Amino acid sequence: MENERLQPPPLTLLDRYRGQGFTALYTTTVTVGGGQAAHGRASGIARSDDGSLFLELRLPVAMGGPGGGTNPEQLFAAGFAACFHGALSLLARRAQVEMAHATVAAEVSFGRDPVDGAYALIAEIRIRMPGVARRVAEELVRDTERLCPYAKMARGGIYSIVRVID
């Protein structure tokens, strides 16, 4: 297994779903505790249910913290960029467009929201597709925006349930 070459997912992931309701293909849970400062953002520990994610959260220096750990904005940016790249890659493969050197960068800013006086996020996605004609790249990116669940969530919101459990 150690020498096994990693493969992209099958193109069947692009097949249209015709079911009546949402059907989960994968579910994960990440739990964050408050750590030393009893504050998940400032000193939390994030653990995934399968144990593959375990990291310390720290408030970035720009927000008055010590840095030295990751933060929610970095995690969101990583997820957004990875998901967008994955969807773009599937669509490019289906269109027989070579994009082995393509990159997706997600810039996420945390800041003050003038609408409600609280906080908001802004995300900018930057795609580089060396060797791909601009017209083709723009069409693939437009289609990726419709396919990528992170892009859909950023554009239209996410169905969210928040509840207290025992």
pLDDT-derived band of residue 159, with 50, 70 and 90 as boundaries? confident
| CB hemisphere CA count around 4 (13 angstroms) | 5
Residue 25 inside a domain? The answer is yes
Residue 7 inside a domain? The answer is no
SS3 166: coil
Q: What is the DSSP letter of 57?
A: B
Q: Of 49, 52, 56, 16, nearest to 35 (Cα)?
A: 56
Kindly report the backbone phi and psi dihedral angles of residue 45, in degrees, each rounded to the nearest multiple of 5, phi listed first: -120, 130
pLDDT-derived band of residue 160, with 50, 70 and 90 as boundaries? confident
pLDDT at 1: 62
Residue 32 inside a domain? The answer is yes
pLDDT at 51: 96
Residue 156 inside a domain? The answer is yes
Residues 94 and 125 in one domain: yes
Q: Which helix (H) or strand (E) segment is 89 a member of?
A: helix 72-94
